[in-house]
Every structure is written in C-alpha cells, then in structure tokens.
Chain A
Amino acid sequence: QGRLVESGGGVVQPGRSLTLSCATSGIHFSTYSMHWVRQAPGKGLEWVAMIWFDGSNTYYTDSVKGRFTVSRDNAKETLYLQMNSLRAEDTALYYCARDPWSGYFDRWGQGTLVTVSS
C-alpha cells in the first residue's frame, strides 16, 4: 500500500520560512505527480501546489504564488514544500497526496501542522 509521511511542521513567526518534507515508500513515487493540500483548523481542504512526476512543471494556488515552492527528489522518493514569507493565514495541517495521472488524490499522508504566530 505504501506510506507517505510528512514532517517539518512547527510554530514559526510571520515572515519567516519553513520547509516541509513528505517521505514516501512503496508508492512508485518517481512515476506520479504529487500535490500539497492544506486544512486550516476546523476548516475544509484547500489545494496548495502540484508538481509533475519529473519536476518539469509546477502549479500553485494564487494565495501562495511567489512565496511557496514545491520540489521533489525522486532518488530519495521525497516531496518538499519550501514556504517563505509565512502569514497567519498559512496556519494549517499540510498533507501530501499522490496523483495517479488524473488530477485526483488517491494516497494521502497524515499531515504536518504549521502554525504561524508571533
């Protein structure tokens, strides 16, 4: 079935940076596009970013464009999300999810919590 394990969350001050990781195993990582989806406390799901299987294309939701960067290391089977200029509204549980070539999410991690607060 495979595993997706997010890490790197924590409490960070507004304007600072944080990098999230999503370590995977058993999901044929290098052949799938991957996404980041977040969920603010008590709120619904929000799509954040997507990267093609080979890293050649990336997409972002408007609210994070220019501040967040999604990347991947296929040799390490790991997905990343570099988050700069963090804002209070970025506070959320961040999930990584696998995309089986059709734009939906068939495997999810358990999430890592990012709290942006002074």
Chain B
Amino acid sequence: EIVLTQSPGTLSLSPGERATLSCRASQSFCSTCYVAWYHQKPGQAPRLLIYTSTSRATGVPDRISGSGSGTDFTLTISRVEPEDFGVYYCQQHGGSQWSLGPGTRVEIK
C-alpha cells in the first residue's frame, strides 16, 4: 500500500505570497502512476486542481501548478489569493489502488 504524507500541516500566508505544498509517497509509483491535487473549502466538496501530476483541470488559474515525479510531488501557488484558503489533498492514481494524503491547511493572513 502506498502511503502519502503531506507537508507542512498548516501554511499561513499573506495575499501575494508563494505557497509550496509537498506530497511524498512511501514508495515509488508504477511508471504510469501520477498525483492529483484537490482543494476543499469548509462545507464544500473537493475540487480537482491538478491531475497526472502537472495538468491543470478546467478553470484552474495558471498561478496554480503541479510538479514532481517518483516519490516527491509539489503543488505551487505562485501568488496566494484570499479564495485559496482551505485544505489541499494529494492523491495517487494510475494503478489499481487509490489513496489520499492527510492534507495541508492553507490559512490566509
């Protein structure tokens, strides 16, 4: 079973600052496996941001980007905006098992 860990647990940022969220897998994925990223605001369902590690979902602004491979993946928000608060989850996909990380909470100062 692949276990995903996310860091930091909480990120507190001012608008305009850069956010770097990390997702690390307990073992390397299969060669055709990837990471997806979701954003969840309180009381709402998660929203897909990134899939196949680097592709933006429809409607996601280009200040949000995904990178990484192997066991280390990153979600970057180049300039945080007030609507970016909430919890961000990474998820591994591509094989026949699916798991999500514990989440990183982003707070806007």
> In the bound complex, what is the Cα–Cα distance between A47 and B99 (angstroms)?
6
**Interface size band for A:** 10 to 19
Cβ of B93 and Cβ of A102 under 8 Å apart? Answer: yes
Which residues of chain A from 37 to 62 have a CB within 8 Å of any chain B CB?
Answer: 37, 44-47, 50, 59
Cβ of B98 and Cβ of A44 under 8 Å apart? Answer: no
Cβ of A59 and Cβ of B38 under 8 Å apart? Answer: no
**Contact indicator per residue, chain B 13-54, by CB within 8 Å of chain A (1) or not (0):** 000000000000000000001101010100001111001100
Q: How far is the CB of B57 from chain A (nearest CB, A)?
A: 7
Cβ of B48 and Cβ of A104 under 8 Å apart? Answer: yes
Nearest neighbor of A62 in chain B, beta-carbon distance: B1
**Contact indicator per residue, chain B 72-109, by CB within 8 Å of chain A (1) or not (0):** 00000000000000010101011111111111000000
Q: How far is the CB of B3 from chain A (nearest CB, A)?
A: 13
> In the bound complex, what is the Cα–Cα distance between A37 and B102 (angstroms)?
14
> In the bound complex, what is the Cα–Cα distance between A50 and B100 (angstroms)?
14
Given known pairs A108-B45, A111-B45, the reply for A103 and B93 (CB within 8 Å) is yes
Nearest neighbor of A95 in chain B, beta-carbon distance: B45
Q: Which residues of A contact B34 (CB under 8 A)?
A: 102-104
A-to-B contact residues, CB < 8 Å: 35, 37, 44-47, 50, 59, 95, 102-106, 108-111
Given A44-B100, A50-B98, A103-B98: 6 more A-B contacts, CB < 8 Å:
A44-B102, A95-B45, A102-B94, A104-B51, A104-B93, A105-B36
